[in-house]
Structure 1
């Protein structure tokens, strides 16, 4: 075969439909009226920009080719032209207005959340989605269903990826066709973003805030998306699957969900009176652990300290079982440990606690039952609601409290070593989960402190950020109510002198006290 024929065949094969079938070079048209409007708007702007490019570059190249000096062409000699200046000002204005009108109409339509038929609250958390249907009593978590062993290449068949590899979940969001569905999007930890390209919906999920979006799909189908905001180590394993059903099928699905909820309640009730064998607890516990816990604490139980501590040989998994139950059920404030009381049944929590207390050579022998979980939860609830006995001798009570309560000495001046030692401990406990032990952070959500402006610039701004949090980044919580002024002084000092920052600043409790009074 000749050289030219070979090149020709390669070019033909490259540009055939089959070769380009899997390559998406443009926006998807989507399956909603809004997504099609967005696509049309995109194409309108693209065509206008293409036309401008052809005219501008065409004139430039034509001038370079036919009016160059080598052809003896002499440039025109003029300095200004009012008509030309008016034209090249007026024409761009007209073009911008022509693009702005449909763009504004589309944006207004995208923000019109009124008169919805179905309202669903979407809550992002590391690293799953929680869906709650208003007025239906239905809520559940949606978690990646691709086996962890597969995407960590631990299986012999890991090279064989399914069609929807990393875009498959155990429970998809289900919505009806021909109904306006309103989404209330928020987060319970860090910033996420709920993004389904086929709907032209991409909305940030911010902790403490609710953003709104809506969609109305005409045809049944399954549509996929992903979290579109860096949210931690498993950000890439947080897919979104939406199953759109016909109105009749959606009604059937609602009935099925109500039945499942009722059956789950009965099963939960029955489990409280059952004594589950150790083997069954360990099997269920391992399955639950791999699905919900292994992302942070690792399959081997070794964790990723200090943010995600090891469970293998740890005090929490080998000592007081009630404390273990409490942290699994309620989570731990100020850390990445979320509560699973609303995510798992009491039987599952009993199983996973049993598994953690007996796996990895922990071997405590504890077989925790669902009734143990209920007893521990009820006991804590009673403690929280127990009436407070008020001493009638108020003066004596106040005197006793004043004498016994530790008083923070805000006038004390600490040395560099004292502040750095204390600051490192506070940082590891309260800050390292986001900003990392090395201070490099997880940008852009959790910015680096190493070499950063905040840690090397104005110390007053640094103190204020730790005290009151950040208005620009909701992920930066306020620690004024969580840490003492001495602890804040220490951690600010540590951040300003660790990792090569070396500002030499020693922040004392008095400075933090003065800043908090502003």
Structure 2
């Protein structure tokens, strides 16, 4: 029935449905008894029939009954409810772990141990859902619940979600899974699901998060295990092709016409929600780009703000969301649309130069320039026999930690328990060095949130970050880990 809850497609969601029905049936039964007795008394003991009210005082038996019966009812409801709640919070033994990050106004999904991550954005054109096209004939049933990229998970596998936010409070809600968790900036909330059959299941943000809160849908596509394996392979191929295209774009010179076309598409998809299609913005939170000092001023500063965002404002960093070609195109569009007409045609190589400059702003001192080159992956060959000083390892280790670890374990090393435990004073950072190295290289089987960095970092980087973790935040073990030690541990 439309007026009732739906059962959902997971065992937990069906348990929640059964709890709801149990509570409703108990309430209905109580209502029938109470109101039945009340109306029966009103009909058969009314004054017009000569009924006279009884005169009596307290009854020990009645008081025991009306105390004991509600207790029994509450226990009958509490036992299955507690069992279901415990099961809902049991995130152990997951087969797949996905980090879900809310962002104004889209979702970012990252598959642990798969090197797959992407943003999922409402795919319906803005002019359509704002009725700017003058018609609603083309709107489908799910026009506000459709995205450009579905979150894909396998059937019959326990999928664990680590839910957080990079700006304001959102809420990741998929009714068919009985999953609804707040996405809080700086915190990790956990949830899980195990779906029995393939299908497409929809949800949306369930926490007021700003002007486009209503346009932040969730679409989960559940595939069979075989189809999911095929999808994973396809995503790896797409990533490889995207990397090749990105590399090729750095040496290409794109025409103004092509830049403007791609730039307009990118702007409408990623920027128009805040700065408006007309470039007029929504001051003061989202300033106008039409005639602005950013869009008509220094090109490098313009690229930098799109790449890295602006702290303390609603301007996000798009360096991880867009390719360098897309950033070049959208900057070109903003500098030439709405009468700005600067004539600037920004290329992907220009974006790369600014990105490289941003990295150099936080570079280490000159005495460890060779070490920093390895961190930036500019060194062609890694020398595993080289012995680094404590200063070199700590400087490089801090940079690697900030790049690869701080998002989960925090700059302060305090972590985000329980998903990301603290490193400050931890048994890992203070205990056996070989165990510490193994954890960084191979990840953790007990905690899938701890990814394996053996394929992401060089052995020198791993040696440096392990050294940093063992000596930062007051750990002060005095241990200096060299690349040769990491190489030996990796070979076992």
Task: Provide TM-score, normalisation by structure 2.
Answer: 0.74
One of 55, 70, 86 as aligned partner of 1:77: 55
One of 205, 223, 228 as aligned partner of 1:227: 205
Gaps of 5+ in 1: 1-22, 390-518
1:202 is aligned to 180
Rounded to whole Å, the distance in 1 between the matches of 2:255 and 2:42 is: 86
Deviation by residue 1:270-311 (Cα, 9 ceiling, x = unmatched):
000000000000000000000000000000000000000000
Rounded to whole Å, the distance in 2 between the matches of 1:386 and 1:358 is: 38
Give yes or no for the alignment of 1:212 onto 2:190.
yes
Rounded to whole Å, the distance in 1 between the matches of 2:143 and 2:359 is: 42
What is the DSSP-based 3-state SS (H/G/I as helix, E as strand, rest coil) of the residue aligned with 1:43? helix
After TM superposition, the structure 1 = structure 2 runs for residues 105-144 of structure 1, keeping only pairs within 5 Å, are 105-144=83-122
One of 287, 293, 298 as aligned partner of 2:271: 293
One of 328, 346, 359 as aligned partner of 1:368: 346
2:150 is aligned to 172
Deviation by residue 1:228-262 (Cα, 9 ceiling, x = unmatched):
00000000000000000000000000000000000
Rounded to whole Å, the distance in 1 between the matches of 2:107 and 2:358 is: 28
2:292 is aligned to 314
Rounded to whole Å, the distance in 1 between the matches of 2:324 and 2:136 is: 33
Give the count of matched residue pairs.
Answer: 367
2:159 is aligned to 181
Could you tell me how far 1:386 is from its partner in structure 2? 4.6
Could you tell me how far 1:157 is from its partner in structure 2? 3.2
Could you tell me how far 1:70 is from its partner in structure 2? 1.8
Deviation by residue 1:376-426 (Cα, 9 ceiling, x = unmatched):
11012112215279xxxxxxxxxxxxxxxxxxxxxxxxxxxxxxxxxxxxx
What is the DSSP-based 3-state SS (H/G/I as helix, E as strand, rest coil) of the residue aligned with 1:308? coil
One of 319, 322, 345 as aligned partner of 1:344: 322
Give yes or no for the alignment of 1:281 onto 2:259.
yes
After TM superposition, the structure 1 = structure 2 runs for residues 505-516 of structure 1, keeping only pairs within 5 Å, are none
Gaps of 5+ in 2: 368-492
> Is residue 311–residue 356 contact of structure 1 (8 Å, CA) maintained in 2?
yes
What is the DSSP-based 3-state SS (H/G/I as helix, E as strand, rest coil) of the residue aligned with 1:379? helix
Rounded to whole Å, the distance in 2 between the matches of 1:25 and 1:264 is: 47
> Is residue 132–residue 140 contact of structure 1 (8 Å, CA) maintained in 2?
yes
Give yes or no for the alignment of 1:38 onto 2:39.
no
2:71 is aligned to 93
Deviation by residue 1:146-191 (Cα, 9 ceiling, x = unmatched):
1101111011333442021200000010000010000000000000
Give yes or no for the alignment of 1:251 onto 2:221.
no
Deviation by residue 1:114-165 (Cα, 9 ceiling, x = unmatched):
0000000000000000000000000000000011011110113334420212
What is the DSSP-based 3-state SS (H/G/I as helix, E as strand, rest coil) of the residue aligned with 1:139? strand
2:220 is aligned to 242
1:154 is aligned to 132
Rounded to whole Å, the distance in 2 between the matches of 1:116 and 1:34 is: 15
What is the DSSP-based 3-state SS (H/G/I as helix, E as strand, rest coil) of the residue aligned with 2:362? helix
Deviation by residue 1:345-400 (Cα, 9 ceiling, x = unmatched):
000000000000000000000000000000011012112215279xxxxxxxxxxx
What is the DSSP-based 3-state SS (H/G/I as helix, E as strand, rest coil) of the residue aligned with 1:102? helix
Rounded to whole Å, the distance in 2 between the matches of 1:388 and 1:303 is: 43
Rounded to whole Å, the distance in 1 between the matches of 2:348 and 2:100 is: 29
Give yes or no for the alignment of 1:302 onto 2:280.
yes
Rounded to whole Å, the distance in 1 between the matches of 2:223 and 2:192 is: 16
Could you tell me how far 1:24 is from its partner in structure 2? 1.9
Give yes or no for the alignment of 1:62 onto 2:40.
yes
Deviation by residue 1:458-489 (Cα, 9 ceiling, x = unmatched):
xxxxxxxxxxxxxxxxxxxxxxxxxxxxxxxx
Rounded to whole Å, the distance in 2 between the matches of 1:200 and 1:104 is: 16
> Is residue 153–residue 159 contact of structure 1 (8 Å, CA) maintained in 2?
no
1:512 is aligned to none
Could you tell me how far 1:28 is from its partner in structure 2? 1.0
2:383 is aligned to none
What is the DSSP-based 3-state SS (H/G/I as helix, E as strand, rest coil) of the residue aligned with 1:385? coil
> Is residue 358–residue 365 contact of structure 1 (8 Å, CA) maintained in 2?
yes
Rounded to whole Å, the distance in 2 between the matches of 1:40 and 1:158 is: 39
Deviation by residue 1:477-518 (Cα, 9 ceiling, x = unmatched):
xxxxxxxxxxxxxxxxxxxxxxxxxxxxxxxxxxxxxxxxxx
1:49 is aligned to 27
